[in-house]
Structures are given as C-alpha cells and as structure tokens.
Copies of this chain bind each other. A is one copy, B any other.
C-alpha cells in the first residue's frame, strides 16, 4: 500500500463488517461513530472509561482485501500508557478515543466494547440478553456559571449533555435538582450522569456523581405473582444477575387466590388500600434483600421492571380491582406504564429510580403473560408454538410468525395443590414425583428435599426432617396419570374398587374409592390418598387448560401444534408424559414439549436490559389476538369434551407410541359398603 500521497484510509470494523474511508488522523472512536459502528464510551473520548477498547489486526486480511501495516494506528500515547499503568489494558488492545487511524486498518470491537452487546452467560440455560438499557452513564464537563450569561446550573448541564453526547431535551425531577448544585461543585463541574431514556425518546436525569463514575448501575426485574414475588438484581451494563430472591406475597392473608382477594375488596371497603400497601412493602423488602445480597447500595439501583397479572397490577397501582372480578373484566388501563418508583411506593431504590410495567394483554391475561411472550417470542418462529403458563389461571399463547393468539383459562388452583385432599404447596415434605407399578399397583414416590425414591435405602432417614406432608401440584398430576396408566382409573376418571383393580390400595370412601399412596402409620405424618374428589378437581383443571388451548387452535384453524412450551416455575416440574396422559396438553412428540422455566421473569429481565425489547413487546401485545374464554361458546364444548383422561375428542398417536393405556371402565356401583367399610379397612 502506498500511503505517502493518501489523505484518507480504509477502516474495517469487525465483527460488524462495517467499512469506510476516514481522514488520516481520525480517532477510532470518531471513525466508529461516522460509520455507525456500535462502539461504547462513557467518558466521551477523554481516555477515562476505557469502554471504547478495540483490538487492531495487523498483516494481510485476504477476506477484506486489505493489508494492515504496523503503523496503521498512531503510537500508544501518554493517556493510554497511563491507563495501562493504572488500570491495565489487555495485550493488543487500544483505547478507541486515543488511537488515530494513520493507514488502512482492520479493527475488532470486542463484545465488552459494544453498547448493544449480546451477553452470553456461562450457563446454557441462561438467556442471551440484548443490552440496550434505558438508563446509562454519561460523563460530562459542564460550563461554570457566568454572571454575564446567567443560566441555571441545570440548563448548562443539559447543554453539556447535548453538546458532548447529542442528548437533548433532558428533564429532571425536583429530587435531582436539589442535589445538582452540590454535585457539580464537588466534581469541579465534571460529573457522571445517569440518564434514563424511555422508548418514546424522553430523557430524564436520574442522578449524578462528582467526577467520572467507574461503576455500573443496577436494575430490578420483578415478577409480582399472586403467591410469590420473585426478583433479580441485574447489572445494567452486561445483564448479569447479581442476586435473586423471593418472598411470599403478603396479600395471601387477604385471600389465597386472585378472585378471593377481589372479593375481599368488595366485602371490605378500603381492602384494596391494605393490599396495595402490603404489595408495596413486600417490593421494598425484596429490593433491600437483593441490594444486600448483591452488595450494592440502594442509590445505584436506578430501574425496576415489573410483570404481574391484571389483579396484582391494579392492586400495586392502587386501583380498585373490582371490575376485574366480573364480566366484562374491564382493565382500568392496559398499556405499559412508565412511573417514578416512588409513585408505586418503591422507596428502597435510587430516589429518582424509574419503573416500567409491561402492558396487560387482556382482563385475565397480564403483563406476566406479555413477559412470557417477550421471552418465548413465538412470532419469531415458523413452527406453531403452544405456550402455557400454568398457575391459578393458565395463560395460553398460540402462535407463529404469521399470528399469535392469547387467552386465559380458569384452571383454578388444583394444579398448585390447592383443593386437593392431601394437596400442598411445593415445599420440603411434599410428594413431587410418583410411579405406580402397573402389575403390583404399588406406588413409589419422591418428596421435595430428597433425591431418593421412597423404596430406596435411606429414604426414611432422608425425609425424617421434613416428614411426608402432602402432594404438590406436579405430584398430583403424576399420581393421576400413573393411576390411569396402572389401570386404577378409567378413561372417565373413575377410580376402580379393589375388586376391579386387584389392589386393596383403592379403598372405599363413601360411594367412591381413593388410592392410598402413603399410610401415616408407616412413617408418621398424614395419611395421603388420591380421592375421587381429587381426580374430579384435576379433571376440571386440565379440561379448562385444554379447552383454552383448543379454543386458540380453533381460532388459528389448526388441529395440531408443533411444540408445547411449559412456562412458569410449576411448568418446569411437570413431566411432559404425564401431562399428555392426563390430557392437559395436545398430543405432540415428547421431545417437542419443553420447559421455559420462569419465562415471565426472563421477559422482565429482557425488558430491564433493553428499551428495544420494551418497544417490541408493546407492539407485539397490540398485535396479539385476544380470545376471551368466558364468552366463547366453543370453550364450554371443549371443556366438557376434555373431561376424559386423556380426553376423547382428539387422537393421541404420539402418546400411543410410548404408553399403552389400559382399556378399563369402572362405575361407582363397585364401591364397597360406604363410609363404615372404608373406616374399617383403614383401621385394619
């Protein structure tokens, strides 16, 4: 290459591949901006922050058709030497704001120097977080006050931000204005600003620190559930989760499920105010716990993203949820909300921290489902996904790149262990997995807190501490499915009597039978059976779930789906085979049933890390077709038809490949002599 006469040079950035010619002597950071290359900077080219590090490549780059000479960049200068001495630069790295382009060059932008970096975590299960946070740091040098041109300190700060960072129209609330003058003077008119930009482009000054702040900002991603409130403390520069914590929703004392809380408000004027206060207190407790666990100060937590169902949403905002308890389930407001954290009582963060609440999809389909939609993004796939977030209400998404539908189905709390005779929440002592031998009809099981099966040596000792206290949601689903597979239960959901099943474990209780899983006399604790009533409760729940999915399939005009995603903490523990035996989900190849884990929490983290993600889910929620199960006549038809185990309306060819269901049929006449007989046998 002859450079003698050249006044400009070719610069190629990798991995983006962006290229162009720039004048000789142009700093790399400037060249990156000119060419639209995603190169970070907090200090604005002052050689302080080192965010603009690049790795120049030398030699021949056949692929790019360029040969890079050793003097393609200006020599390492005093600023870089000092930075390397004080803080250390990785070998081969240069500061993009200091190194100037002196010849054709290939420059690699390492991931940590990209503003919109994709951060891939070590654990494969963890999500790739696209970083585009709403709140970022900007170092500025502000003009000192001048009596000849008496503008306010804030106006000069805003001018500096506009001149040095091209960010215009910033506003500040009074809390920040109050700290402004001291901060500016303490930093000798050099300060680092935390600037929040929402997706409408509105910018707000959140806080400022004297001098250059070389520490990240943090945010909270919160899944405010009816039962539990879970939160993550996230580093807003790389999406890293520093701490995760959870606590019970203290509103439980006003009602176990959502509708009982709505009823509480209807019966107790002012009850909504109590519940609002309880939720807000809990959020502050959670924020404090996360800050302590993550070792960060409240002031450094500048954002919170919250997902929740519509009733929790209204209660958090202080809106009476009574309209959500009755048709037409009218939301007070469905759009996403940008609020000061203090407006929703969150005081355990930076005083000017901002909160973002994802949009609600419908009266029963909340911001938590929107977060699942953001996390799972069915609209990005060609195959048809059925995504089920199982909780007290099942929220169901069905869609592909052409269309996405959503509905909520009133499964009730049976899947969470409620309304089940031996049911309990997932906690140590709860039976979570069950197998029933199809020949002997004998059960074996595992309880939460131990990896041993009940027929393995050491089991009794392993569960001695917790005892065997009941069956949790995933346990009852496995129990019912195993009973069906073992021929203890017929397709209509009837439990056979001992004469029909050949085992005394199906014992009479009144006019029906119950299957004994664990006898209290064996190892203490309650006697655990699956009663006919339990079966009916599960049948109602699974029928509702299936009917909701089926309603969306009708709307989509399909008879099958390509994959099923089970979301939610509970979804992570459901065995796909058992769910399919039960008829909870449509028939798909078992390897097409996956768990998305806490997809709502993941969606909340994505929205926390990226303004673009917020805009994307807001647009997507508008596009999603909302189907209201309560007024769909076909929902009732599907519900009734889905009562059988598995339901009779659809073929289950995939399931038939892996399991053969006994062709049994019982009737209640087979039950032994009523309560008396039942009691006798139990004593025996």
Contacts and interface: CB of A to CB of B under 8 A. Distances in A.
A181 to B, nearest CB: 5
Contacts of A611: none
Contact of A331 (B144, B150, B320, B335): B150
Nearest to A180: B332
A153 B319 CA distance: 12
Contact of A335 (B146, B155, B335, B365): B155
Contacts of A329: 145, 147, 150
A363 interface: yes
Q: Which among A153, A327, A333, A630 has the greatest number of chain B C-beta atoms within 10 A?
A: A333
Given A152-B335, A362-B150, A628-B147, A177 B330 contact: no
B181 A150 contact: no
Interface in A627-678: 628, 630-631
B628 A148 contact: yes
- Secondary structure of the A contact surface, majority rule: loop
B626 A149 contact: yes
A477 to B, nearest CB: 30
Contact of A147 (B152, B317, B631): B631
Interface string A318-351: 1110010001111111110001000110000000
Interface in A135-192: 144-155, 172-174, 177-178, 180-182
Contacts of A182: 320
A145 B317 contact: no
Given A150-B331, A331-B152, A335-B152, A177 B317 contact: yes
Contacts of A153: 323, 330-333
A334 B158 CA distance: 12
A360 interface: yes
Contacts of A177: 317, 319, 332-333
A439 to B, nearest CB: 51
Number of this chain's copies in the assembly equals 2
B147 A630 contact: yes
A330 B174 CA distance: 17
Contacts of A178: 317-320, 332
Name, among A155, A181, A360, the residue most crowded by chain B CB atoms within 10 Å (CB to CB).
Answer: A181
Nearest to A144: B328
A192 to B, nearest CB: 19
B332 A154 contact: yes
A150 B154 CA distance: 43
Interface in A111-157: 144-155
Given A155-B335, A330-B145, A320 B181 contact: yes
A146 B328 contact: yes
B628 A317 contact: no
B155 A333 contact: yes
Contacts of A344: 174
Contacts of A626: 148-150
A334 B155 contact: yes
A327 B147 contact: yes
A334 B150 CA distance: 8
Contact of A152 (B151, B332, B628): B332
Contacts of A631: 147-148
A47 to B, nearest CB: 29
A137 to B, nearest CB: 22
Residue of A320, A365, A630 contacting most chain B CB atoms (<10 Å): A320
A5 B333 CA distance: 52
Interface string A352-366: 000000001111010
Contacts of A147: 327-329, 363, 628, 630-631
A209 to B, nearest CB: 17
Contacts of A362: 150
Contacts of A361: 150
A303 B630 CA distance: 44
A270 to B, nearest CB: 13
Nearest to A154: B333
Contacts of A151: 331, 334
Listed residue (A178, A320, A626) with the most chain B CB atoms within 10 angstroms of its CB: A178
Contacts of A174: 317-319, 339, 343-344
Interface in A520-538: none
A492 B148 CA distance: 34
B150 A333 contact: no
A51 to B, nearest CB: 30
Contacts of A343: 173-174
A238 to B, nearest CB: 33
A339 B172 CA distance: 11
Given A178-B320, A181-B320, A334 B630 contact: no
A129 B622 CA distance: 45
A151 B339 CA distance: 20
Nearest to A631: B147
Contacts of A317: 174, 177-178
Nearest to A361: B150
A339 B362 CA distance: 33
Contact of A181 (B144, B145, B152, B332): B332
13 contacts: A149-B626, A150-B330, A150-B331, A150-B363, A150-B626, A151-B334, A154-B334, A155-B333, A155-B334, A174-B343, A178-B320, A180-B333, A181-B319
Given A144-B328, A150-B330, A150-B334, 16 more contacts: A147-B363, A150-B331, A150-B365, A151-B331, A152-B331, A152-B335, A153-B330, A154-B333, A154-B334, A154-B335, A155-B333, A174-B319, A177-B332, A178-B332, A180-B333, A181-B330
Interface of A: 144-155, 172-174, 177-178, 180-182, 317-320, 323, 327-335, 339, 343-344, 360-363, 365, 626, 628, 630-631
Q: Closest 9 CB pairs between A and B?
A: A152-B334, A150-B362, A145-B330, A147-B628, A154-B333, A152-B331, A152-B333, A145-B328, A147-B328
